[in-house]
Structure 1
Amino acid sequence: MSTSTTTFSVLRLIFLLLLASANANANAGANANTELLTQILSYVNVSASPCHDYYSYACGNWAQIHENDSFMEITGLIDQKVNEKLLMLLTELQEQQSSLQSDSVQAKVLSFFQTCQLASSSTRRGEHYLALAPPNEQIPWPQFQNQSETWDSSKFNWMETLARLQRYGLTNVLFDPNVLPDLTNSSNYLIHLKTPSFEEKNERLGSRTRTKAWLRILGTSPQRATLLAHKVKDLELKVAALVAGQPDENDNADETLTDEYLTVEELEAKIGGQWRKYFETLLGRSVPAEFVVNVDCVAYLKALQELIKEVDRDVVASYIMLRFVSYLQEESMASNEPIACVQDVRRVMELATNLLYEKRFISPDRLRRHQSNLSELFEVLRKQFLKILQTNNLHLASEAVDLLRAKLLNVTINIGNMPQGVDRSSFVDAFYADLHLAGNRDYAADHLRLLEFRTRRWFEQLDRAFNISTYFYISDSDTGMSSTPYYMLRQNVIIVPYGILQRPVFYQDSHDVFKVSLLGFMLSHELMHGFVSGGLIYDFRGNYNELGAEIVLEDKYSSAISCLNRNETEYIDEREADVAGIRLAYDAYFDSDSKFDQSQPSFSTLTLKQLFFLNVAQFFCGDATPDDFEGHDADEMRLRHVLINFAPFAEAYGCRQGSDNMHPANKCRIW
């Protein structure tokens, strides 16, 4: 065979391979688009009018289709997929258990997973937790004192007990300690003391009847439980009254006016109480008199000290105990079913499960593609918002625009909530090196160790400066088992969990309209959290900036907020992020210089704009009740406010201005 013939044969083979690859990609894209569209249309209730009630139209069949599923919305579906994959991974680890090193991250994750499944129910009970976590080393909780003996109240110190339990992550009881970046230097962390909240159900005790029932379960006699339930509820009401009497931070955009930086010595002098001993117990180390904390509730803490003096110590102890048991109930899964135990592991060992998920289900090549795709999408959104800032619809001063531009240009994306600038396997190994689980199938014992470990790592932020290359968020339990993206205000970072980068939210091969309308909207929403009322007060470093705080007071901005809040919401920042986020994602896709594919797709007769809004609606579809939502309004209300304030939606469906519910004449716009 001649050389030219051989060369031709090789070129022909390469051409055929490329053609086959192109056909495969085309088929994958066609399949992805068809699958997505079929799912979206299955939720549509054609008997509803999109111009009258778009939620009923776009999501009307969602509840019926998913009536037998455990999740309530699309993010729950994603979490279920992640849980199922992790269950597969843990099942594989069980088969390899004999070959695992006992001190490896895999072995520790597997150990708690097995304890969750195999521990007896007695090790999950509140009494068992309380026996392992007494008020101090000298006395048990009053309910566990031998009936023949009197509980020695002189040995009870409420601040010491609170500090001991806060080491397990207990917060929001009597006062709320947190570790936050310093307002004026976000690279350094301080303990921040604030008043407790009683707004949500899990932030307070239940009724007196429910409180009495809990006391009975925990071993209190019937007569004593009735009296004690009244007394602990009275204490909580008095504490709530003290909180209500304090200035509302939200009434003052300038946080620095209410915050004080006090040394432990100054704290004791101003408020009273053994604060140095409290912090030493909390942190597990000696604390100098010059140790500085940030306090925004000095008057409240002083009044609290006086109130506690007037209350019987067993009542104070019982109140703290009940709140601790309530917290533990929130922090653990009641079931020992495998999928519930997967969630349990995710809640308390998020960094470990993120690494294991990445190693098992995301190849290095796929991770690079995810990072590239996400980066490209986000850069388009960033570019679009830069154009909006340049237009300056709010007529801001040039210095204010420069502040916002700097913040926007410095937003970063963290995929997987993992440190980005180090070897992740080595980092995670080191992170969990000093975690030692009992491994004796005692659920409460291991659960308490994990809660204490996570809290200790959280407080260790006090001893090191912020470093973006090793940053990841040591999250609370609910965030740890969620796949929804979120924005870290003080770090100026959007965290995108691995789980969200899969169907039905993210299709590698789908049409651009699907990518930008759903994942693009999610990213836009999170990005806008840096540029809404609660975010503007911080600059790109996460430091308080007076110039940013003044933007909220500008006439055009405050008028826009008043417009958005015509139907009052407790979550105005969320509504701002929704309304600004839809505009940003839409403009990024449909802008005249957009690089996205704007050709009418062959797989649907719906216009691109109708497809865009239908896919956005997927984020809000669900069957949850209004009581199921915390931190934002119900999804139906959110979608309504997103669309009634956005004229392109009405244009896409031909809605009549002033006549149709979804097209009111007066629309609100932030940016």
Structure 2
Amino acid sequence: MSTSTTTFCILRLILLLGLASASSQASNANVNAGNTELLTQILSYVNVSASPCHDYYSYACGNWAQRHQNDSFMEITGLLDQKVNEKLLMLLAELQKQQSSLQPDSVQAKVLSFFKTCQLASGSTRLGKHYLALVPPNEKIPWPQFKNGSKAWDSSKFHWMETLARVQRFGLTNALFDSDVLPDLTNSSNYLIHLKTPSFEEENERLGSRIRTKAMLRMLGTSPQQATRLAHEIKALEQKVAALAARQPDENDEADEYLTVQELEAQIGGQWGKYFEILLGRSVPAEFVVYVDCVPYLKALQELIKDMDREVIASYIMLRFVSHLQEESMESNEPIACVQDVRRNMELATNLLYEQRFISPGRLRRHQNNLSELFEVLRKQFLKILQTNNLHLAPQALDLVRTKLLNVTINIGNMPQAVDRSSFVNAFYADLHLAGNRDYAADHLRLLEFRTRRWFEQLEREFNISTYFYISDSDTGMSSTPYYMLRQNVIIVPYGILQRPVFYQDSHDIFKVSLLGFMLSHELMHGFVSGGLMYDSRGNYNELGAGIPLEDKYSSAISCLNRNETEYMDEREADIAGIRLAYDAYFDSDSKFDQSQPSFSTLTLKQLFFLNVAQFFCGDASPDAFEGHDADEMRLRQVLINFAPFAEAYGCRQDNDNMHPANKCRIW
């Protein structure tokens, strides 16, 4: 090699090293900037005039409402949903430009079609009267309110079970009785129809007051005098049904049974064969088996309805159906509202389009690896906790818990994991045919019926985790919040959660483990709280697991947690156990995470951990806005007052400061 060639190679090597160094410096600068950005946002919510040891929610979240006073969302998950909606709106604008080149039967074309219908349909096509005209009680008669002129409504042609089945095809449940498709209690791979008593606890599970019921009837065209009479009788019917549902069956009654259609008709009465044929849209043999946990109730219901005015029964079903449709539809035709409408009605399709447009295959693999690594650390940490056996469980019970833990899986994006997703989703929607004629109710009904039909199709196939995805309800479909499927033993992590401020690929580990780690820990622990332990690793009922919450140490922990009474003990258990799991995963002596003080903050890592956990609970929703769990302020307080490392991180004084009572509760 000549001297000049050697010199050139050396210079080239120096140049490459310089470029690599510059690239590394630029990358480090970007990472530091990202960490600083996350920290700045967290600190912007902090109210420094509040004491963290007196009221941590006021301290960590005190400025949240002010910072977001002009925003439509109320908490961090709402912020994530807004980001997803904005991205999907951009995607739909792109599809609109490509509309002429889209295949008419493609998922893209169907999503765009419903989006345009939502935006462009006239207000008259969203009215309850229009929906009811499209779905009469049967093919022979209209709803009583729509009878022709002065001619009497022919009540002899009305059959309440037939009508109920027709409206349940569009997703209505919990009217007169509840009908759902759920895994068999002892074989979760097999789905059965479950018949249950209706619930009246939540506001959307019953009609409103008599005045509101009368107003609904008036809007649907009922005369004032008739509306007054009907409202009174409809509410009386609902109260009688609620009283029946509240009664406990006699000890000698077999309340839970597997019954064939033939046995149902013999024991309870009614045309159950015809009901299921309408509901499922296919012939149903007399040997078709359903699970019934309300035989005495259904007998009493048949007796109650037998002697009642059919117009009252029809009107009750009609109003419950209209209330359901109101819950399921978006009132606004604004672009963002219509994006939400698409998400809630076509979740699998929007998940695919979001993935294809905003998450490259390489990025998706990195996300999957990151999440899997984080989850495996949490799983390993819980296994360590089980080794200590704080609850003094018997070896068999401990083995049951350990086996279940080792079989928990994660589904990212609520998508089938072991198939070609594009082909799968296109096949899934192949028999969905939208009218595309700017009739909102017509297309909305088709989507509701389509989703319900897919839900009932689970009766015809066995559960397979590799192709599993959850055919979700509307609220879940447009949410970015992770959730645990108890009978499938799987945590579903929506794509929307995998973005700032919850997830940033290159952020410091303290940010990942404290917020996303806590959220995953919370969902994981739902399998190991009072309501989850009764199911084993396959989602089957297990008496040994069901007995764990009755053990002395466990029941004492529950009593301790309920000093501040809650209706949502499972949520509180998951919160309390979840924060311990995430914290220990990060700060344990054998932790794989970097525990050196970061350069971007003078706050200790432990203070950063609790500040970031608090982001999950920050918001400005009123306490009565929460469903299924306590208000966020109460939840954060309960989490932290029962966790000693929090008090240590902030130097709180035991029993002198509100956030550091001496008596703390622990589950696992």
2:45 corresponds to 1:43 = yes
Select which of 79, 95, 98 maps to 2:97: 95
2:640 corresponds to 1:643 = yes
Q: Structure 1: which 4+ aligned runs deviate by more than 6 Å?
A: none
Kindly indicate whether the alpha-carbon contact (under 8 Å) linking 1:25 and 1:509 is maintained by their aligned counterparts in 2: no
SS at match of 1:173: coil
Shift of 1:32: 1.1
Query: What residue in structure 1 maps to residue 554 of structure 2?
Result: 557
1:210-229 Cα offsets, whole Å, 9 max, x none, are 11000000000000101111
Query: What residue in structure 2 maps to residue 335 of structure 1?
Result: 332
What value does the CA root-mean-square deviation take over the aligned residues?
Answer: 1.4
Query: What residue in structure 2 maps to residue 173 of structure 1?
Result: 175
Written as runs of structure 1 = structure 2, the 5 A alignment for 1:148-187 is 148-187=150-189
Query: What residue in structure 2 maps to residue 33 of structure 1?
Result: 35
Shift of 1:310: 2.5
1:195-239 Cα offsets, whole Å, 9 max, x none, are 111111111111111110000000000001011111111111111
SS at match of 1:552: helix
Query: What residue in structure 1 maps to residue 73 of structure 2?
Result: 71
1:571-615 Cα offsets, whole Å, 9 max, x none, are 110000000000000000000000111111111111111110000
Instruction: In structure 2, give the amino acid aligned to 1:385.
Output: F
2:371 corresponds to 1:369 = no
Find the aligned partners of 2:394 and 2:621 in 1 and give their Cα distance.
43
Query: What residue in structure 1 maps to residue 477 of structure 2?
Result: 480
Query: What residue in structure 2 maps to residue 379 of structure 1?
Result: 376
Find the aligned partners of 2:26 and 2:310 in 1 and give their Cα distance.
73
Written as runs of structure 1 = structure 2, the 5 A alignment for 1:454-493 is 454-493=451-490
Select which of 629, 640, 655 maps to 2:652: 655
Distance 1:275 1:14, change over 3 A: farther
Instruction: In structure 2, give the amino acid aligned to 1:496.
Output: V
Query: What residue in structure 1 maps to residue 414 of structure 2?
Result: 417
Query: What residue in structure 2 maps to residue 108 of structure 1?
Result: 110
1:478-528 Cα offsets, whole Å, 9 max, x none, are 000000000000001000000100001111111111100000000000000
SS at match of 1:190: strand
2:293 corresponds to 1:296 = yes
SS at match of 1:193: strand
Find the aligned partners of 2:15 and 2:454 in 1 and give their Cα distance.
57
Shift of 1:12: 3.6
Find the aligned partners of 1:247 and 1:519 in 2 and give their Cα distance.
45
1:368-407 Cα offsets, whole Å, 9 max, x none, are 1100100010000000000011110001011111111111
1:610-648 Cα offsets, whole Å, 9 max, x none, are 110000000000000112111111101110111111011
Select which of 518, 521, 526 maps to 2:523: 526
SS at match of 1:178: strand
Find the aligned partners of 2:9 and 2:370 in 1 and give their Cα distance.
36
2:614 corresponds to 1:612 = no
Find the aligned partners of 1:308 and 1:644 in 2 and give their Cα distance.
52
Query: What residue in structure 1 maps to residue 82 of structure 2?
Result: 80
Select which of 10, 15, 18 maps to 1:16: 18
1:3-60 Cα offsets, whole Å, 9 max, x none, are 6455545544543343233223211211111111111111111111111111111101
Find the aligned partners of 2:34 and 2:254 in 1 and give their Cα distance.
54
2:322 corresponds to 1:358 = no
Instruction: In structure 2, give the amino acid aligned to 1:81.
Output: K
1:255-300 Cα offsets, whole Å, 9 max, x none, are x995311111111111111111111110000111111111111111
Find the aligned partners of 1:32 and 1:258 in 2 and give their Cα distance.
58
Query: What residue in structure 1 maps to residue 229 of structure 2?
Result: 227
Find the aligned partners of 2:15 and 2:102 in 1 and give their Cα distance.
46
Which moved further from structure 2: 45-54 or 495-504?
Answer: 45-54
- Structure 2: runs of 5 or more not aligned: none
2:441 corresponds to 1:444 = yes
Kindly indicate whether the alpha-carbon contact (under 8 Å) linking 2:255 and 2:296 is maintained by their aligned counterparts in 1: no
1:101-158 Cα offsets, whole Å, 9 max, x none, are 1000000000000000000000000000000011111110000001321101111111
Find the aligned partners of 1:398 and 1:82 in 2 and give their Cα distance.
46
Instruction: In structure 2, give the amino acid aligned to 1:150.
Output: A
Find the aligned partners of 1:325 and 1:627 in 2 and give their Cα distance.
24
Instruction: In structure 1, give the amino acid aligned to 2:234.
Output: V
SS at match of 2:484: strand
2:574 corresponds to 1:577 = yes
Find the aligned partners of 2:379 and 2:540 in 1 and give their Cα distance.
21
Distance 1:392 1:146, change over 3 A: same
2:64 corresponds to 1:62 = yes
Select which of 415, 430, 442 maps to 2:427: 430
Identity %: 85
2:258 corresponds to 1:264 = no
Kindly indicate whether the alpha-carbon contact (under 8 Å) linking 1:347 and 1:477 is maintained by their aligned counterparts in 2: yes
Instruction: In structure 2, give the amino acid aligned to 1:95.
Output: K
Query: What residue in structure 2 maps to residue 664 of structure 1?
Result: 661
Kindly indicate whether the alpha-carbon contact (under 8 Å) linking 1:506 and 1:515 is maintained by their aligned counterparts in 2: yes
Distance 1:371 1:13, change over 3 A: farther
Kindly indicate whether the alpha-carbon contact (under 8 Å) linking 2:207 and 2:320 is maintained by their aligned counterparts in 1: yes
Shift of 1:172: 0.9
Query: What residue in structure 1 maps to residue 541 of structure 2?
Result: 544
Instruction: In structure 2, give the amino acid aligned to 1:78.
Output: L
Find the aligned partners of 1:493 and 1:293 in 2 and give their Cα distance.
25
Instruction: In structure 1, give the amino acid aligned to 2:138.
Output: N
SS at match of 1:413: strand
Kindly indicate whether the alpha-carbon contact (under 8 Å) linking 1:101 and 1:107 is maintained by their aligned counterparts in 2: yes
SS at match of 2:193: strand
Find the aligned partners of 1:175 and 1:13 in 2 and give their Cα distance.
76
Find the aligned partners of 1:389 and 1:173 in 2 and give their Cα distance.
44
Query: What residue in structure 1 maps to residue 201 of structure 2?
Result: 199
Kindly indicate whether the alpha-carbon contact (under 8 Å) linking 1:168 and 1:448 is maintained by their aligned counterparts in 2: yes
Instruction: In structure 2, give the amino acid aligned to 1:545.
Output: N
